[in-house]
Amino acid sequence: MSDQHDNAMMENLYWWGVPTLFRCPHIGPDDQDIALVGVPHSTGNGTTERDQHLGPRAVRNVSAVLRRMHNEFKIDPWTAARIADVGDVPFPRANDNEDCIRQITTFYSALDAAGSRPVSVGGDHSITGGIVQALGKGNITNGEPVCFLHLDAHTDVFTKVDHFLGAKKSAAHWGAYLADQGMVDPSHSMQIGLRGHARTLDWLEPSYEYGYNVVTMKEYKKRGAADVVAQIKDVLQGKPVYITFDLDCLDPTIAPGVSNIEPGEKGFDIDQAVELLHAVRGMNIVGADIVCMMPTKDSPNQITALTGSALMFEMICMMAENVQANYLRG
């Protein structure tokens, strides 16, 4: 057997070697089309479910076993684009949420300057605020605000409270303060799958007030996937798209290891989630993230980490497909 054959066999053994995201090289963002990033942050949630900082390591540990090719797209993303694992955002003051958000913005500002589009794994959902403070109106978006494809059980636009157990730029607030800063355009953003337990009956009102296009889980089931996909295409077409995917939008049976699990109403299954992600295939995807993984609450077969890796793979493939198309045009 050749060394090439032997190496190919070893690449899919998740327990072998130094773990990087999808076996990508661990190098800096310069000259990379796509940067894979770990954001081990969990002080933006403010609840007792604080182990979300372990999410990036959990995905690194299992991601090698994921698909190497995309059968539907007919693409090998690892050769179609230059992709690197650029490491983790450093958090020397990890218990200080506001400092951590600044660290995230600084880290992603360097990626934006390099033109390297990030696909990130967190970490609680406050990381999206730090990331988009760097990407919104930046180099990659050509000075435009980002437009969200946001899949979540919760709105994260909770303006009715001024902090979340002490965290200001928290997992509950980024959807509001990014809009206030002009970093996101709510009128061309989608929030889909909302089914969280409401603490107040007006919990959806801030999203409507900001102008987000809201599709609750009940509305999704009533309207059907095709109608919601059509709305996504209409709202986001021609815009710089940022995908943010909270694993709690999934049903707990396929993603039990999440920080704010919502068992009272069935969430998305994996095929539904992937179909919604594919609605932005071919669009200008400027970045993406997977958040709210709780490895310490995951099942022994690490199904939540594997599911998160699979969704991350879909994001990577859509972005790599765009890179390949641009190379062919150029």
Domains annotated for the chain, with CATH where assigned, are: 3-329 (3.40.800.10)
Give the residue from 311, 306, 305, 294 showing the smallest Cα distance to 257: 294
How confident is the model at residue 168, as a pLDDT? 66
How confident is the model at residue 23, as a pLDDT? 92
Give the Cα separation of 239 and 246 in Å (integer).
21
Give the residue from 320, 324, 326 showing the smallest Cα distance to 77: 320
pLDDT, tens digit, for every residue of 25-76?
999 999 999 999 999 999 878 665 779 999 999 999 999 888 789 999 999 9
Q: Where are the alpha helices (DSSP H) in the chain?
A: 3-11, 55-62, 77-80, 97-114, 127-135, 174-181, 205-210, 217-223, 225-236, 270-278, 303-329
Give the residue from 160, 116, 159, 125 showing the smallest Cα distance to 249: 125
pTM: 0.95
pLDDT, tens digit, for every residue of 75-119?
999 999 999 999 999 999 998 999 999 999 999 999 999 999 999
pLDDT confidence bin for 162, thresholds 50/70/90? confident
**If 0-12 CB within 10 Å is exposed, 13-18 middle and 19+ buried, where does residue 224 land?**
exposed
How confident is the model at residue 164, as a pLDDT? 67
Residues in contact with 180: Cβ distance below 8 Å, sequence separation at least 6, in sequence order: none
How confident is the model at residue 235, as a pLDDT? 98
For the residues 168-197, what does the mean pLDDT come to? Answer: 90
Name the more confident of 304 and 329: 304
How confident is the model at residue 47, as a pLDDT? 62
pLDDT, tens digit, for every residue of 136-154?
999 999 999 999 999 999 9
Asked which of 7-11, 66-70, 126-130, 175-179 is least confident by mean pLDDT, the reply is 7-11
Look at residue 316 and tell me whether its pLDDT is greater than 90. Answer: yes
CB 22 within 8 A of CB 36: yes
Q: What is the dihedral of CA 307, 76, 114, 235, to 10 degrees?
A: -60
Give the Cα separation of 154 and 93 in Å (integer).
27
Hey, is 172 helix, strand or coil?
coil
- Tell me the average pLDDT of the chain: 92
CB 46 within 8 A of CB 170: yes
For the residues 3-23, what does the mean pLDDT come to? Answer: 81
Strands 240-246 and 83-88, how do they pair?
unpaired
For the residues 231-243, what does the mean pLDDT come to? Answer: 98
Q: Where are the alpha helices (DSSP H) in 76-140?
A: 77-80, 97-114, 127-135
For the residues 17-22, what does the mean pLDDT come to? Answer: 90
Q: What is the percent of the chain where pLDDT is above 90?
A: 76
For the residues 174-189, what does the mean pLDDT come to? Answer: 96
How confident is the model at residue 199, as a pLDDT? 76
How confident is the model at residue 171, as a pLDDT? 66
For the residues 305-329, what does the mean pLDDT come to? Answer: 94
User: Distance of CA 102 to CAs 192, 292, 299, Å?
Assistant: 28, 19, 33
How confident is the model at residue 63, as a pLDDT? 93
